[in-house]
Structures are given as structure tokens and as C-alpha cells.
Amino acid sequence: MIGRFQPFHKGHLQLSKQILRECNELIIAIGSAQFNYIYKDPFTAGERVLMIHAALLESGLDLAKCYIIPIANDENNARWLGQLKSMVPHFDVLYSGNEFVKVLAQQQPIRVKKPFFSKKDDYNGTNIRRHMAAAASVISSTKPRRKSQNWKRLVPNAVSRLIEEIDGVNRIKILLKSDSNPQRW
């Protein structure tokens, strides 16, 4: 499976489980690996590896059957599948609901399988980052804590714990502000 995993959420975890039911091994390719500290891509590839590893472990999946691999983007889309194949172990099936991936893969001996995502509007990186940006700061806020921590129920516990350890909510707030700042430098 492929994703940016900014962050890894419960929809991703469900898909991981589905794949391990249907295949012998699971490769999780972390796209846009070179991006970080951007509102759309707040976490480094290394932080994302850590979150995914911890979430799989927490949910009892067998890490001996999993590969978690960061992949830098390739601006030449037609070459991207070659880039992907050179960076991960051999695979036969690619899980993606994206028609675009299907089109790129169609000239290769790769089967593209559409995953089933439940609660797509909730379990969705854009939505989760928005919740995080809106999260009331623990200290200054007077809003009820429940609401301000909405994002936590959308990601595995292991992920929310790691995001707190690296003060990720605060990072996202700062990035939201400075990305739209014309004087970033």
C-alpha cells in the first residue's frame, strides 16, 4: 500500500489488516518522503516510519511480515512505478483506490486492487490535520478538552502518543500559519 501517512490513521490500519488477511506480506510505501515541516506534510519520513511501526505492533500485527519504506517522489509520473519497484521488495498486488495509480500500472504485470475504506470523510489526512490545527492548546484554551482532542480518536493510540511526544499539534499550528505567510523567509 502507498500513502503519505500524514499521519497514519485508522483507515490505513484497517487496510493494513485487510492486506495481511489477503496476502503473505505487507509493504507500506511512504510517499513524499523528502517532505516535512510543511502544513500538508508535517512529519518527517522517519517520524512516519516510527508511527506506522508502533501502530502495527500495538494492533498485534506480525512485524516479521511487514516492510515500512520511505520513497522520495519522482516528478516524472511515467517513471514513478520504476522508482517504486527499485525501492521496495518485489510485489504482485498494489492496493489503491486511485484511478491514476491504476492507469500508471496498467502496462505492468501488477494487479491493482481497490481497498475498502470505511468512514472516508473522517479517516482522512486532510481532515485530521484540520482537526489538529483547530485543537485548543491544552494550556490557553477554555473550550472543553473533548472537542479540542477530536483528532485523537481518528488515529491509533500509538500514533497519537508519538505525535504528543514530538509536540506535533503545535508544529502543525505553526506550519499552517507560516505556510501562508508571504515572508516565510
Shortest spacing between CB 17 and a second copy, in angstroms:
17
Query: Is residue 46 within the footprint of a second copy (CB under 8 A)?
Result: yes
Q: Please report, for residues 1, 30, 60, 63, 107, the alpha-carbon distance to residue 52 in angstroms, rounded to integers and kept in the order given.
A: 12, 10, 13, 11, 31
Taking CB under 8 A as the criterion, the residue among 17, 20, 59, 69 binding a second copy is: 69
Which of positions 20-39 make contact with a second copy (CB under 8 A)? 31-38
Taking CB under 8 A as the criterion, the residue among 14, 18, 124, 149 binding a second copy is: 124
Shortest spacing between CB 10 and a second copy, in angstroms:
14
The string of DSSP letters for the chain reads -EE--TT--HHHHHHHHHHHHHSS-EEEEESSTT--SSSSS-S-HHHHHHHHHHHHHHTT--GGGEEEEE----S-HHHHHHHHHHHS---SEEE---HHHHHHHTTTT-EEEPPP-SSTTTS-HHHHHHHHHHPPPTTT--S-HHHHTGGGGGS-HHHHHHHHHTTHHHHHHHHHHHHT-TT--
Question: How big is the site for a second copy, counted in residues (CB under 8 A)?
Answer: 63
Query: Is residue 49 within the footprint of a second copy (CB under 8 A)?
Result: yes
| x-or-dash string of contact with a second copy, 88-107, rule CB under 8 A | xxx-------xxx--xx--x
Candidate ranges 14-22, 78-86, 138-146, 148-156; the one touching a second copy (CB under 8 A)? 78-86
Binding site for a second copy (CB under 8 A): 2-4, 31-38, 44-47, 49-50, 53, 57, 63-64, 66-70, 72, 74-83, 85-90, 98-100, 103-104, 107, 109, 124-126, 171, 174-175, 177-178, 181-185
